[in-house]
Amino acid sequence: MHDSLPPPPELLAAPGYLVRRLHQAYVAAWVRLIDPMLTGPQFAVLTAVHAYPGVEQGSLAEAVALDRSTMASVARRLEQRRLITRDTPVEDGRKRLLHLTEAGEVTLRETSHKVRRLEERLLAGYDAERRAALLAGLITLGQRWEGLAEPHARPDPPDQPPGVPT
């Protein structure tokens, strides 16, 4: 048996490390408390298809933060589980238009209740103002990080500290 060591201070000052820890904890809580078979990305797609019935699969990918190939794979799995339909329009055989099935509606409704309960537990102790500020900060951070991951993103100049405008 070994004693558990705390993370070094350098890691606790590293946003990427902290985000990874949050993600690991969230996925573990999701599997235990939400649904071990329905993934977070699948839930996101169901939610977005509910919001945009008949949406084209490729255009939905960005809205749920998936690349096109992952989106296609997620949509195929949801179709195999009969939670969505992927219809091919006559005018363009390459497109797939997504709709929730009745089973998809039921799954989304049941899962949404569980997700809200989990989110309440995750944000316990945060009042509405603090929750709104946290979510706004996470959205801003996510947009910034996603921008840095884009192929056209330029690295910071070597003589500039990160994040300093040029």
Q: So what's the pLDDT on residue 151?
A: 77
Q: How many domains does the chain have?
A: 1
Q: So what's the pLDDT on residue 165?
A: 58
Looking at the domain assignment, is residue 28 inside a domain?
Answer: no
Looking at the domain assignment, is residue 65 inside a domain?
Answer: yes
DSSP label at residue 98: E
Q: Which residue has the higher pLDDT, 3 or 151?
A: 3
Contact status, residue 29 vs residue 117, Cβ threshold 8 Å: no
Q: So what's the pLDDT on residue 156?
A: 67
Looking at the domain assignment, is residue 134 inside a domain?
Answer: no
Looking at the domain assignment, is residue 59 inside a domain?
Answer: yes
Domain extent, residue 97, equals: 37-122
Contact status, residue 18 vs residue 12, Cβ threshold 8 Å: yes
Tens-digit pLDDT profile for residues 115-133: 999 999 999 999 999 999 9
Percentage of the chain lying above the pLDDT 70 cut:
92
Looking at the domain assignment, is residue 159 inside a domain?
Answer: no
Tens-digit pLDDT profile for residues 45-74: 999 999 999 999 999 998 999 999 999 999
Looking at the domain assignment, is residue 13 inside a domain?
Answer: no
Q: Length of the chain, please?
A: 166
* 78, β-bridge pairs: none
CATH number at residue 117: 1.10.10.10
Tens-digit pLDDT profile for residues 20-40: 999 999 999 999 999 999 999
Question: Which token pair is 128?
Answer: 């509405």
Looking at the domain assignment, is residue 110 inside a domain?
Answer: yes
Instruction: Place 154 in a pLDDT band, splitting at 50, 70 and 90.
Output: confident
Contact status, residue 71 vs residue 60, Cβ threshold 8 Å: yes
Q: What average pLDDT score do residues 75-91 get? A: 94
Looking at the domain assignment, is residue 95 inside a domain?
Answer: yes
